[in-house]
Amino acid sequence: MSLQTYQLMVKQRFSQLLPGGPSRAMAVSGLLLLLFYVFSFNYWSSQDHSDLHLPFAHKWRAWSSGGTNTDPPTNLSHIVFGIVGSLKTWKGRKAYLESWWRPNISRGYLFLDGRPDNESLCPYTCPQILINEDIRKWKIYPLLKYPVSVRVAWSIVEAFRQGDNDVRWYVIADDDTVLFMDNIVQVLSKYDHTKYYYLGASSESILSNVYMSFEMGFGGAGFALSYPLVVAMAKKLDGCIKRYPNMWSDHLIYICILDLGVAISRQKGFHQIDLHDNIAGFLSSHPQSPILSLHHINVVDPIFPSMNRSESISHLMKPAGVDQSRLLQQTICYQREKNWSISVSWGYSVHIYETAVPRYVLQMPIETFRPWIKNAKWPMFMFNTRPAKNDPCETPHWFFFESIESENKDVFVTTYTRAEKRRLSPCSLGRNHSADRINRVQVFSPVKTRLEAGRAECCDVVSLSDNTTTVRIRPCMEAEEIAIV
């Protein structure tokens, strides 16, 4: 809408409203407000440079967030992690934090509501422990609906008040969240840290988003706030708590950020994991985006068979420590002679199907998990799923990550072994080739090639011995399709 049209609208409203009536006073004051808006708008646009007229404003914002900033690239040293737990939950979660924390390299704090016992301390292997401010002394305290969750939200301000130097981002998560720091650095470095940014993700569960908000960054999944946004939060969060004393922590943070005029920048790699039981199906069809976090690892089944929870997280950290950009990225190839489909979730699992299953099907997670909220009705998830069936043509043979080695300086080889026999007859559609004898899959991948944004990689089945399938991952060729043709 041009300014002229807008002024015309004001004039028309003026003539409609003035004839009087009971609402005249209100109408006039509303009009004054409108006029004030119009004049101040005029003022600002005449002050600005001529190329900043309204139609171009969005373009200008796009330029300025696209990295006109000349600071050196963002690295891990620019991030402060704020991990929030409680004495009640922290026991037994030390191993999760230790699995991803980099002592003396990553910066941050673990916030608790009291001093943990000596066995739960980890002076060198965890972030420094800080005890949260006692909010029971606050005047507002009796009005808070979820005091514990306000303590959690307040940790952002407390992390900020530590006064760390040269901080560009604060990343906040729970003590049962595993973070993938290399990927987080990659993602954050694409944003201008001198602007207000709120990076996060929704829950996988539709109902969680309905109860909270589709527009918020779930706290367990973790979210990132740029430094200037945290400066603003440090000034405004207490007022915001007074305005909204009934809100749950991450919801409260979202609402306060929204009141500062900032909306979420969605990141597909933060995972709230509002799911139950076995999330292997979810992790085997990860969206094409770097994995940033995994939450609720103390709730879901261990992610690798025959390992406990902390062992399986440490196990996932082996490939994560070597090439995080490729972790869980799905690569699909087809073996023509046998008519098999092979889906690799790098560093986690390999599926072999005895038929040609198209990519659009393989990218939907197999529903090995249950919804977060019991008795939830369909649709339950924020993504499409495939039912976990017992059909020889639709049920894959499952292999899980075992080890990673470097073949030479340019190539890594990850090995995946069969978890258990499939116990189904071969798929009799087409070629009827059973994969029962395969008990190992080897995947060769190039060393740390930065993955091309928006495009998957391709692979070829390079050999098929009696019991081992070997696959080589490579960049896709121009206009190459991933399909059996």
Ligand X SMILES: *[C@@H]1O[C@H](CO)[C@@H](O)[C@H](O)[C@H]1NC(C)=O
Q: Peptide bond preceding 379: is omega within 30 degrees of 0, i.e. cis?
A: yes
Task: Characterize 370-387 residue by residue with b for buried, 16 or more Cβ atoms within 10 angstroms of its Cβ, and e for exposed.
Answer: ebbeeeeeeebbbeebbe
CB 319 within 8 A of CB 346: yes
Burial class, 34, CB count within 10 angstroms (exposed 0-12 / middle 13-18 / buried 19+): middle
- The residue number whose beta carbon is nearest to ligand X equals 430
Residue 466 binds ligand X (CB under 6 A):
yes
| Tokens 């969605």 -> residue | 266
Q: Binding marks (x or -) toward ligand X, 323..342, rule CB under 6 A?
A: ----------------x---
Question: What is the nearest approach in angstroms of ligand X to the Cβ of residue 413?
Answer: 15
Closest CA to 186 of 68, 323, 377: 323
Compute the half-sphere exposure of residue 190: CA atoms within 13 Å on the CB side of its CA. Answer: 10
Does residue number 311 form part of the binding site for ligand X (CB under 6 A)?
yes
Shortest separation between residue 73's beta carbon and ligand X, angstroms: 7
Min separation Cβ 340 and ligand X, Å: 9
251: CB partners within 8 A, 6+ apart: 212, 213, 216
Q: Return the range that interacts with ligand X (CB under 6 A); candidates 222-230, 265-273, 321-329, 431-439.
A: 431-439
When binding is defined by CB under 6 A, the residue of 29, 64, 75, 406 that contacts ligand X is: 75
Residue 117 CB, shortest distance to ligand X, in Å, is 6
Size of the site for ligand X (CB under 6 A): 25
Question: Residue 20, class by beta-carbon neighbours within 10 Å (0-12 exposed, 13-18 middle, 19+ buried)?
Answer: exposed
Q: Does 463 contact ligand X by CB under 6 A? A: no
Of the residues 30, 66, 103, 239, which one makes contact with ligand X according to CB under 6 A? 103
310 interacts with ligand X by CB under 6 A: yes
Choose among 346, 347, 342: nearest CA to 435. 342
Minimum CB separation from ligand X for residue 164, in Å?
Answer: 13
- Report CA-CA distances (Å) from 269 to 21, 175, 249, 370: 57, 18, 21, 20
Of 79, 455, 96, 95, nearest in space to 273 by CA: 96
Candidate list 72, 123, 261, 454; residue touching ligand X; CB under 6 A: 72
**Span near ligand X by CB under 6 A; candidates 31-39, 169-177, 423-431, 445-453:** 423-431
Q: Does 403 bind ligand X (CB under 6 A)?
A: no
Q: Which stretch binds ligand X (CB under 6 A): 79-87, 196-204, 289-297, 421-429?
A: 421-429
CA distance 127 to 110: 6
The nearest distance, CB 473 to ligand X, in angstroms, is: 21
Instruction: Kindly list the residues in this chain that would bind ligand X in the complex (CB under 6 A).
Output: 72, 75, 77, 103-104, 118, 124, 308, 310-311, 339, 355-356, 393, 426, 428-432, 434, 439-440, 466-467
